Amino acid sequence: MKSGLKPKHRRLVFVGIAMALLAAATGLILSALRENIVFFYSPSDILAKPPAPESRIRVGGLVETGSVEKPGGGVVRFRITDTAMTIPVSYRGILPDLFREGQGIVAQGRFVNGAFAADEVLAKHDETYMPNEVTDAIKKSGQWKPDVKGTK
Amino acid sequence: MKRLDWFANPARFLRLARAVQPWATGIALTAAAAGLYLGLFASPPDYQQGESVRIMYVHVPAAWMALFCYTALAVASAVALIWKHPLADLAARATAPVGAAFTFLALLTGSLWGKPMWGTWWVWDARLTSVLVLLFLYLGYIALNGAFDDPARGAKASAVLALVGFVNVPIVKFSVDWWNTLHQPASVLRAGGPAIHESMFAPLLLMALAFKAYFVWVLLIRIRAEIAAGKIRAARLRASGDAAP
Amino acid sequence: MSDLAGFFAMGGYGAFVWLSYGVTLMILVLVWAASVRRLKRNERALAEMEARR
């Protein structure tokens, strides 16, 4: 320790250096773990690097407009898209209230033979909040952009 | 013995606390009344989430306060470690349980909002997990602070934990930008301005103001209680010192 | 009356909305009450100590 510093300043320097080291270490760990912290993959990710059929993964994207079919028996079929790539999904179970065409969703299940068999479907919404009258007005003025943020 | 001497005359702080506290109480109650009225009656349902969007008016202020209190805890701990001002130790110790309560509320109301909207009470995505870690940091701080017979040692150990745990605060904040999460990105503090319509933004800001004023109000009460406890401790030490030959 | 029932139903999300507000209010009141009680207790103990001296 430098002897010229007052104890108060020495503690300040010590805490400052310790915090900087800690931040750097955490940053390194987080960037090393980056792949493992991903909650879901996009259809493009999955088609580019198909996972093993026995591994349980999550796929996130938008429910393609016009793709939802309910053939009966509680089964739902739809296609999930990130606007570049699309994967067919089948699911049997309860859908969240926000599930609709064009909505961002995250499905969990297995990717087998080019199709996704989901055992859980969660809805993902974007950060925009507004009343119905406002969305009607935006739609009327032709400014409405379908939500693609859900694919992020 | 500088630390114990301070308890003999914290008059300046107590004067300030007595002057500020009625204002904090008044602002908290007024803003909460206005925020509840707007949030529950006079604001529209969301175009996607319907009436469930009203959970936002308690969930988001609680989550903001969870991060704010931890930042305050870390700053107070740094001041206590470096400058050894006794008030900083007291402020840190008084903040932790309030911050833990806000964090618990953010998790609970988030769960109650996630079930109907996302379709699940809980997922292990980066946002939710890092907020759970935040709650454990608060609980660890509280436990460590009280784990020593000598309060000064407890204060020092827990202050170090508070500083180490501060790395989690930016992780909570930016988790939704850095990784794919089920939780959506920030609506208010974002590039391009808030993405919340003004009719919903008003109750959100009022409730956030109410939560912050509540924090000041309760924190002042808690610090006054800590000062009284410190005076009692100092008097006991003096008494046992007098008794010694 | 049906207006009031509609208000409490919250479009079917009543349980989630009211539970959120209810638990929030309860916890904030509990934290405040515990803080006030501790202040009162410490101030009383301090006053007794000073009276004895």
Chain B partners of A133 at a C-beta cutoff of 8 Å? Answer: 44
For residue A145, what pLDDT band results from cuts at 50, 70 and 90? low
CA distance to partner chain C, nearest, from residue B41 (Å)? 8
| C22 part of contact set with chain B, CB < 8 Å | no
Q: What is the CATH number of the domain that holds B48?
A: 1.20.120
Point out the residue among C28, C35, C46 whose CB comes nearest to the CB of B221: C35
Amino acid at A26: T
DSSP-assigned letter for residue B47: T
pLDDT of amino acid B1? 46
Band the pLDDT of A143: cuts 50, 70, 90: low
Tell me whether residue C8 is in a domain.
Answer: no
Cβ contact, residue pair B125, A133, below 8 Å:
no
Contact B48 A60 (CB under 8 A): no
pLDDT surpassing 60 at residue A1: no
Chain A contact present for B100, CB below 8 A: no
List the subunits that have 3+ CB pairs under 8 angstroms with C.
B
Burial bucket for residue A92 (CB in 10 Å: 0-12, 13-18, 19+): exposed
Cα-flanking dihedrals φ and ψ of residue C13, to 5°? -100, 15
User: What residues make up the domain containing B108?
Assistant: 2-187+195-243
Q: Indicate if the pLDDT at residue A2 is higher than 50.
A: no
Q: Which of B191, B107, B117 is nearest to A123 (CA)?
A: B117
Among the partner-chain residues B47, B118, B124, the one whose CB lies closest to the CB of A131 is B47
What ipTM does this complex have? Answer: 0.93
Beta-bridge mates of residue B8: none
| pLDDT tens series, chain B, 245 aa | 455 566 656 888 899 999 999 999 999 999 999 999 999 999 999 988 999 999 999 999 999 999 999 999 999 999 999 988 889 999 999 999 999 999 999 999 999 999 999 999 999 889 999 999 999 999 999 999 998 888 889 999 999 999 999 999 999 999 998 888 899 999 988 877 888 999 999 999 999 999 999 999 999 999 999 999 988 988 888 888 766 55
Which residues of B are less than 8 Å from C12 in CB distance?
50-51
DSSP string, chain A: --TTS-HHHHHHHHHHHHHHHHHHHHHHHHHHSHHHH---B-HHHHHHSPPPTTS-EEEEEEEPTT--EEEETTEEEEEEE-SS-EEEEEEESPPPTT--TT-EEEEEEEEETTEEEEEEEEEE--S-B-BHHHHHHHHHTT------GGG-
User: Which pLDDT does position B242 carry in this prediction?
Assistant: 66
Q: Do the domain assignments include residue C10?
A: no
Cβ proximity of B106 and B55 under 8 Å: no
Stretch A34-46: mean pLDDT, rounded? 83
Q: Which residues of C touch B231 (CB under 8 A)?
A: 46
Contact A130 B118 (CB under 8 A): no
Sign (positive or negative) of CA dihedral C12, C13, C16, C19 = negative
Q: How many domains does chain B have?
A: 1
Would you state the pLDDT for residue B4? 55
Provide the residue range defining the domain that includes C42. 15-52
Residue reference for tokens 């002897």: A3
Whether B93 contacts chain C with CB within 8 A: no
Interface test with B, best of C35, C37, C44 (most B CBs within 10 A): C35
User: What confidence tier does A146 reach under pLDDT thresholds 50, 70, 90?
Assistant: low
Higher pLDDT, C21 or A130: C21
User: Does the beta carbon of B164 lie under 8 angstroms from any beta carbon of chain C?
Assistant: no
Q: Other C-beta atoms within 10 Å of B58: how many? A: 29
Contacts of A94 in chain B (CB under 8 A): 119
Would you place residue A81 in the very low, low, confident or very high pLDDT band (cuts 50, 70, 90)?
A: very high
Residue A107 scores a pLDDT above 90? yes
Q: Specify the number of domains making up chain C.
A: 1
Nearest CA in chain A to B43: A131
The string of pLDDT tens digits covering residues C1-50 is: 468 888 888 988 999 999 999 999 999 999 999 999 999 999 999 999 88
- Mean pLDDT of all residues in A21-44: 82
pLDDT digits (tens, 9 = 90+) for B213-243: 999 999 999 999 999 998 898 888 888 876 6
Q: Rounded distance, CA A36 to CA B8, Å?
A: 54
